[in-house]
Structure 1
Amino acid sequence: MPKSKRAKLVSLTKVSKKTRDHKNALLAEVQQNADKWKYCWLFEVGAMRNAHLKTVRNLWKDSARIFFARGAVMAKALGTTVEEEHRLGLHKLATQIKGQVGLLFTDSGPQEVTEWFDDFRQPDFARAGNIASRTVTIPAGPIMRVHSDPPEPFPHNEDPQLRKLGLTTVLKKGVPTLDTPHKICEQGKPLTSEQAQLLKLIGEKMVVFRVALKARWDSATGTVVQVEGAGISPEEATQAESGEEDEEMSG
């Protein structure tokens, strides 16, 4: 009788070894890129979404290398003290690696980089627990999908789902309809899972993925310059995807 796959034992020592090797590979990759590029930027992310981060990677793949990995590993690769730093001045950048941050290695000039990231914004749907950035109310009448162009009413077969999410709808000519306005959420208050689902269904995007540059290291001089501008607020920092995991390496 063949052995059950469910009964297969996994050696924890093998898992640990793989993790250690993976971290060592990341350390080496970060250091190799520190040797290769003119600048290393430290950035932080608001309303983290893997899909949007991959968009940034793709747009910069020919002129930069991006790492969005575990902070402790990236900091160790750069070196957090004068004695341990991989190259002159990198410890000043490494000591700032905290929270959801990443590294961008590039030869592109500072003005080009700052202008590009200042302009890059990707609206997205909020998740349960996110703070509502504005009050949203569905007016009385047919419930419309605001993301369609032009807006379209919901079909009759979605009426049960709308009711399940808290709307007191009635079908009028086969269209889910409200007799009175319904407030979905209130600005400044955390969203429930039902509220987040409703906002997504009607097409209301309440968070914005963006990348804020924090500091820049110059390989020629070893200096680290702090970037002035709007950083990521605590609210933006907590608007990450549920179950978001760090991506260890970038292509």
Structure 2
Amino acid sequence: MPKSKRDRAVTLSKTKKKGREHKENIVNSIREAVEQYNSIYVFSFENMRNLKFKQFREQLKSTSRFFLGSNKVMQVALGRSDSDEIRTGLHKVSKLLRGDAGLCVTNMSKEEAQRIFNEYEDYDFARTGSIATETVELKEGPLDQFTHEMEPFLRKQGMPVRLNKGVVELVGDFVVCEEGKPISPESSRILRLMDMKMATFKLNLICRWSPEDFELYQEGLEGSDIESA
């Protein structure tokens, strides 16, 4: 009997990791961009959504370039001290690339960049592990927002439901999520069915650099935070 193709071993050894060449390309791209654009911003992000960020970036492609990825690689590109920075003062920008952060190099005016970043926010469904922004509780009784075909799925999510004459009915009060607590996988699915969006995708400016000046936008970032580390 011929051997089933399903029984073939699959090797992952051919999977290529992003190595030195990839990092060098990023470093070179950032350094080229620094020479081509007027100013640089470090921004942080909350509840990143790749598609929404791609759309935001696309809107500004005529004036700006964005870089996300390894903070260490971006720091190397800019220079981590005054002895290896590629432009005067850029080591201050490098020190602020921490956590969920990115770079924006742009020809936008300072006022326009601040307005666009400060005004931008987009709502989306919360993912598993996100912190609930409010308590959602369903009361005992009919759930008219759900069709009868959804009853088995709702039961699998832990909801005490049954069908009563073709109507989904909750047989007891049920707390979907509690404010300030992590959202479970089941709660995430239920909130999506209820069309309740608890995640806000935001971009927050941290600092701005130009050949003429350097500005911090977030309170609590002291000079020692920049010059140390």
Q: TM-score, normalised by structure 1?
A: 0.79
Aligned pairs for 1:155-194 (under 5 A) are: 155-194=147-186
Cα distance change on mapping 1:35 and 1:194 into 2, 3 Å? same
CA RMSD of aligned residues (A): 2.3
Distance 1:108 1:167, change over 3 A: same
- Alpha-carbon spacing, 1:210–1:171, altered in 2? closer, same or farther (3 Å): same
Where structure 2 has 5 or more consecutive residues not aligned to the other structure, the ranges are 222-229
Asked if the contact 1:41–1:215 (Cα under 8 Å) also holds between the matched residues in 2, the reply is yes
Unpaired runs of 5+ residues, structure 1, are 145-152, 232-251
8 Å contact kept, 1:212–1:230: no
Q: Secondary structure at the match of 2:19?
A: helix
Q: C-alpha separation between the residues in 2 aligned to 1:8 and 1:162?
A: 39
Q: Is the 8 A contact 1:125 1:207 kept in 2?
A: yes
Aligned pairs, number: 215
- 1:199 equivalent among 191, 198, 221: 191
Counterpart CA distance in 2 for 1:230 and 1:51 is: 31
Q: Which amino acid aligns with 1:37?
A: Y
> Residue 108 of structure 1 corresponds to which residue in structure 2?
108
Mapped to 1, the partners of 2:12 and 2:72 lie a distance apart of 31
Tell me: CA distance 1:69–1:165, structure 2 relative to 1, closer, same or farther (3 Å).
Answer: same
Pairing 1:75-114 to 2, within 5 Å after superposition: 75-114=75-114
Kindly indicate whether residue 134 of structure 2 is the aligned counterpart of residue 134 of structure 1: yes
Matches within 5 A, 1:1-251: 6=9, 10=13, 15=16, 19-143=19-143, 153-219=145-211, 221=212, 223-228=213-218
Shift of 1:63: 1.3
| Structure 1 residue 228, shift from structure 2 partner | 3.9
Q: CA deviation at 1:186?
A: 1.0
Q: What one-letter code is carried by the residue in structure 1 that aligns with 2:160?
A: T
Greater RCO between the two (CA within 8 Å, min separation 6)? 1
**SS of the residue 1:214 aligns to:** strand
Q: TM-score, normalised by structure 2?
A: 0.86
Structure 1 residue 11: Cα displacement? 6.6
- Runs of 4+ in structure 1 over 6 Å off: none
Report the residue type matching 2:200 in the other structure: V
> 1:21 and 1:142, CA in 2 relative to 1: closer, same or farther beyond 3 A?
same
Q: Could you tell me which amino acid in structure 2 is paired with residue 135 of structure 1?
A: T
CA distance in 1: counterparts of 2:141 and 2:152, whole angstroms:
17
